[in-house]
């Protein structure tokens, strides 16, 4: 079930903003409304669902309305129209007390410029959300310490935020957001103010944290690399409109329109696509079959080598046409002539890392899972064609 469902969510800034709603419904553009009604459209009828436990990335350039959109979810900005359903309760219709409880219990937030309270220690910052709920001192210290430990700040709890580096400050921000154990964590450009290297570390850590905690995370960013790295699904925004929602692969491979296409054209596909995207169904043979069958199979499917796998699909080796012909002459079994030393990679291997491996071998690379089960093979041509932007993964190639 979706934890958040957003329907026709709209924010218009300006005097008597509701009058823009019928105009938007008539299809007026942001520019036309700005010109003729003197109103600024922040978010234009956004529709999406966020599933429990996913990292949902909202991406767009500055001014695209993404920061406004995320603030509509917890009503730091009041929506002009539409609904935000949290487990089927409309956040937009909540009274101030219900809204306060919703913010205290269900939805945490991490800010771009950290927004730590300078007069409080690291611990007191992490405690803040619990403190306003009225959780008693001992309990909130315990929970805040747990959160600080989770983000790797144990031992720093009595420092002031300004004594910490940027990366550490944002860990405090993260701990503050997590301490009261909300269902949803909003992260507004949370890593944008950090140095590139620290930023990558934080992204990695967020993914690790997420695998432990299974929070629902709404992550705002203007950085496509970041979106691709951490997002389970990505919503791309332009001029207040959500242009496309999809998995990172869908956005890259099937951009919905010219805007998305331009957005993603500079992406280094070799750092995004994995072996799983470009692999194809291997031609296989069981080890107990004879060389004659192997040669026949190769002829039928027009290939020069076969992968040898047992009943459980466990990869044994590879046999080429020459090997099979030799076996036929010498009356040997496939097991005796097959090559066991073959390049293997996991489905998550980036194309970038595949290059080196492939340049050293004539054989296709085998893609195997942790149990050494054969999932597919990658041939050079598929990699090159994917990098040229023509990736058309076969149905069974996608995770």
Partner 1 sequence: MSIPKLPLGKAVEWLENWLTTYLGPLFDFIHAVIGGMVNGIEMALTILPALVLILIITALAYWIGKWRMALFALAGLLLIDNLGLWGPSMQSLALVLTASVLAVLIGVPLGVLCAQSTGVQNTVTPILDFMQTMPAFVYLLPAVSFFSLGVVPGVIASIIFAIPPTIRLTNLGIRQVSPELVEAADAFGSTAGQKLFKLQLPIALPTIMAGINQTIMLSLSMVVISSMIGAQGVGAYVYRAVSQAKTGAGFEAGIAIVIIAILLDRLTQKLVKPKKG
Tell which one of 16, 26, 27, 118 touches partner 1 (CB under 8 A): 118
Please tell me the distance from the alpha carbon of residue 24 to that of residue 40, in angstroms, as a whole number: 12
Residue 103 or 277: which CB sits closer to partner 1?
103
Tell which one of 32, 93, 113, 154 touches partner 1 (CB under 8 A): 113
Pairing of strands 40-51, 2-13: antiparallel
- Per rule CB under 8 A, is residue 108 in the interface with partner 1? yes
Tracing tokens 């019928």 back to the chain, one arrives at 22
Please tell me the distance from the alpha carbon of residue 339 to that of residue 357, in angstroms, as a whole number: 17
Tell which one of 109, 209, 308, 342 touches partner 1 (CB under 8 A): 109
Please tell me the distance from the alpha carbon of residue 357 to that of residue 378, in angstroms, as a whole number: 11
Task: Kindly write out the interface string for residues 24-63 of this chain, putting x where it contacts partner 1 by CB under 8 A and - elsewhere.
Answer: ----------------------------------------
- The stretch near partner 1 (CB under 8 A) out of 116-124, 138-146, 282-290, 358-366 is 116-124
Give the count of alpha carbons within 13 A of 189, CB side only: 17
Residue 57 or 130: which CB sits closer to partner 1?
130
Cβ 222 to partner 1, closest distance in Å?
A: 18
Please tell me the distance from the alpha carbon of residue 284 to that of residue 292, in angstroms, as a whole number: 14
| Segments of 180-224 assigned E as strands | 184-188, 216-221
Applying the rule CB under 8 A, the residues between 137 and 196 that interact with partner 1 are 176, 180, 186
- Per rule CB under 8 A, is residue 89 in the interface with partner 1? no
Residue 98 or 296: which CB sits closer to partner 1?
98
Number of residues forming the site for partner 1 (CB under 8 A): 26
SS (HEC) of 18-80 = HHHHHHHHCCCCHHHHHHHCCCEEEEEEEEEEEECCCEEEEECCCCCCHHHHHHHHCCCCCCC
Tell which one of 132, 207, 213, 384 touches partner 1 (CB under 8 A): 132
DSSP secondary structure letters along 385-399: HIIIII----GGG--
Instruction: Report phi then psi at 368, rounded to 5.
Output: -125, 155
What are the tokens at 197?
């290297």
- The stretch near partner 1 (CB under 8 A) out of 22-30, 46-54, 97-105, 215-223 is 97-105
Cβ 191 to partner 1, closest distance in Å?
A: 16
Tell which one of 94, 115, 198, 284 touches partner 1 (CB under 8 A): 115
Residues of this chain that interact with partner 1 (CB under 8 A) are 74, 76, 99-105, 108-109, 111, 113, 115-119, 128-129, 131-133, 176, 180, 186
């Amino acid at each position: 079930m979706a934890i958040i469902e957003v329907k026709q969510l709209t924010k218009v800034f300006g005097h008597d903003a509701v009058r823009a709603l019928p105009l938007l419904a008539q299809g007026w553009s942001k520019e036309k409304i700005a010109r003729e009604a003197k109103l600024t459209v922040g978010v234009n009828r956004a529709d999406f669902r966020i599933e429990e436990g996913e990292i949902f990335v909202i991406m767009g350039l500055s001014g695209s309305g993404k920061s406004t959109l995320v603030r509509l979810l917890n009503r730091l900005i009041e929506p002009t129209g539409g609904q935000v359903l949290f487990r089927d309760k409309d956040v937009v219709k909540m009274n101030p007390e219900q809204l306060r409880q919703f913010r205290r219990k269900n939805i945490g937030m991490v800010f771009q410029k950290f927004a730590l309270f300078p007069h409080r220690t690291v611990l007191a910052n992490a405690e803040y959300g619990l403190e306003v709920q009225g959780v008693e001192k001992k309990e909130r210290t315990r929970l805040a310490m747990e959160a600080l430990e989770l983000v790797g700040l144990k031992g720093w709890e009595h420092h002031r935020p300004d004594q910490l580096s940027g990366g550490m400050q944002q860990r405090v921000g993260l701990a503050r957001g997590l301490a009261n154990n909300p269902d949803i964590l909003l992260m507004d450009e949370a890593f944008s103010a950090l140095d590139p290297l620290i930023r990558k570390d934080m992204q990695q850590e967020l993914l690790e944290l997420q695998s432990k905690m299974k929070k629902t995370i709404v992550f705002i960013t203007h950085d496509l690399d970041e979106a691709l790295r951490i997002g389970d699904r990505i919503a791309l925004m332009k001029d207040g409109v959500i242009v496309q929602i999809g998995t990172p692969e869908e956005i890259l491979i099937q951009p919905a329109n010219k805007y998305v296409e331009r957005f993603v054209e500079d992406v280094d596909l070799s750092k995004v696509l994995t072996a799983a995207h470009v692999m194809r169904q291997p031609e296989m043979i069981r080890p107990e079959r004879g060389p004659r069958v192997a040669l026949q199979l190769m002829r039928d499917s027009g290939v020069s080598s076969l992968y040898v796998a047992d009943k459980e699909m466990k990869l044994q080796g590879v046999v080429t046409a020459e090997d099979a012909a030799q076996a036929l002459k010498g009356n040997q079994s496939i097991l005796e002539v097959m090559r066991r030393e073959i390049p293997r990679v996991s489905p998550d291997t980036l194309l970038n890392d595949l290059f080196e491996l492939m340049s050293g071998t004539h054989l296709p690379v085998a893609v195997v899972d942790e149990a050494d089960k054969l999932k597919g093979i990658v041939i050079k041509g598929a990699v090159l064609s994917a990098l040229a932007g023509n990736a058309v993964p076969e149905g069974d190639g996608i995770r």
